[in-house]
Amino acid sequence: MTALHNPGTERRRLLSRRIRLFAAATITYNVIEAVVALWAGGVADSSALIGFGLDSVIEVTSALALSWQFSAKDPERREHLTLRIIAVSFFALAAFVAVDAVRSLAGAGEAQHSVPGIVIAALSLAVMPVLSWAQRRAGRELGSRTAVADSKQTLLCTYLSAVLLVGLVLNSTLGWWWADAGAALVIAGIAVREGINAWRGDACCTVPHAAPDQAGDACCGPAPQSLGMPTMRKG
């Protein structure tokens, strides 16, 4: 069994700097992603694209909250509030997207073909897993629940990108406009679950002061000799 280790002061400072760097990268990309998705969603009347754009806004909020937490001398003192901010952001996203999707299904408007939407969804599907993995690894080693929770936000973007891409492609190739609203409802459902996890402080794979592989990949299964039931993920 891998032995636990306690990162020294310099190592902890390095990990904190890395987390701030990853948060900055997430903010930059998601601002671009949000602008493109919201614009494309408005043009195509796409509930899924609008929901995806709003999720990007929430990811920016989450990353800013994480940056705020790690700007303090004692980041752990701000962890509880940061997790609450992340959770409330998820709930707000789910409520808006669900209402808009139901409105669309009720006949308020059919989503149109969107090439920019397909492009941004495909790009995010390639970029987000890398950012999430890097931040999650640093967060697990540092033992930061908020860093892992934020990486779950980022990984959620990967799942949402895949759902969005399927919905947009089906709408564009087969004319299944309802696939867009269906994709939006999936996004809302995932957001609710992740909001609940963040509210409970259920940041998967986090073991304070543990080596990354010691924590085990709780997104796939429990760590060796562990009887606890892990949460799914993003993140």
| pTM for this prediction | 0.63
Question: 212 lies in a domain?
Answer: no
For 169-189, the pLDDT digits (tens) are: 888 888 887 787 787 788 788
d(CA 118, CA 136): 27
Question: 140 lies in a domain?
Answer: yes
Question: 114 lies in a domain?
Answer: yes
Give the helix, strand, coil percentages of the chain, each rounded to 5: 75, 0, 25
Please state at what angle helix 79-103 crosses helix 178-199, rounded to 10 degrees: 160
Question: 168 lies in a domain?
Answer: yes
For 9-20, the pLDDT digits (tens) are: 787 888 888 888
Question: 146 lies in a domain?
Answer: yes
Whole-Å CA distances, 58 to 42, 64, 90, 104, 105: 18, 10, 7, 23, 25
d(CA 19, CA 146): 10
Q: Considering its fold, how many domains does the chain have in total?
A: 1
* Res. 190: pLDDT tops 50: yes
Question: 154 lies in a domain?
Answer: yes
Question: 45 lies in a domain?
Answer: yes
For 118-161, the pLDDT digits (tens) are: 999 899 898 888 888 888 888 888 887 777 877 777 777 788 88
Among the listed ranges 25-39, 75-89, 96-110, which one has the minimum average pLDDT value?
A: 96-110
pLDDT category, 36, cuts 50, 70, 90? very high
Specify the pLDDT at position 101: 78
- For residue 51, the domain's CATH number is 1.20.1510
Specify the pLDDT at position 38: 92
What type of residue is 100?
D
What type of residue is 208?
P
d(CA 42, CA 206): 39
Question: 222 lies in a domain?
Answer: no
Domain that holds residue 80: 9-199
* Res. 233: pLDDT tops 50: no
